[in-house]
Amino acid sequence: MLIEQSAEGSPTQARALFDQLLEQALEREVITDAVIAESIDQSNRLWHARESIPLAQAKEGANLKHGIAVPISRIPAFLEATDRALRDALPAVRLITLGHVGDGNLHYNIQGPPGASTFDEAQAALISGVVYDSVAAHGGSISPEHGIGQSKVRELRRTKSPVALALMRDIKRALDPRNLLNPGRLLELD
């Protein structure tokens, strides 16, 4: 977990608050170890490691990325259920989850077995179905950060209620009455 802190008061006061947080987390065994950046350069290097994860995944081979969100309180249950379901369905997959835990947005990524360059269409459909079904079961969203795009249109229609879809159409009509912006991409207006 990468935590960036900001606080009112002096840097000394901020550091004391952070040290207290770490001490409590270690005592409660929420964490087992920590690294604290002591400079901007060290902070940048930690962020570089985090930002390099998608590149490392691509280099490693087959992977499917799912930008999803679940309520913060449901993240542990979502991860437990979804990880188990995917491992039961495809035991060799590797699960790489990262994101913005503070707001519930997760990058729930599935890495293929070592040496696999792609997932076949059936495997990809199975994986995405498991992930999106679990997101729905945990009261989440399949499009929290990057939108629906072309790849999630079918899932949008499958996971959103008719009322939600009707509301989306109404908003589209209000903002784009002549249907000039991406006509027919996500929602047919008539």
Look at 63 and 1; give whichever has higher pLDDT: 63
Could you report the per-residue pLDDT of 145-187, keeping only the tens digit for each? 666 777 777 787 777 788 988 898 899 889 999 988 877 676 6
Alpha-carbon distance of 31 to 23, in angstroms, equals 10
In percent, the amount of the chain with pLDDT more than 90 equals 45
Residue 181: per-residue pLDDT: 84
Chain mean position to CA 53? 13
pLDDT at 116 over 70: yes
pLDDT at 1 over 90: no
Distances in Å between the Cα of 63 and the Cα atoms of 58, 70, 94, 117 are: 7, 21, 9, 8
Tell me the CATH architecture of domain 61-159: 2-Layer Sandwich (3.30)
In the chain, which residues fall in CATH 3.30.70.2740?
61-159
Which of 140, 187, 181 lies closest to 162 in space, CA to CA? 187
Which amino acid appears at position 34 of this protein? A
Count of residues making up the chain: 190
Alpha-carbon distance of 24 to 75, in angstroms, equals 21
> Considering the entire predicted model, what is its pTM?
0.75
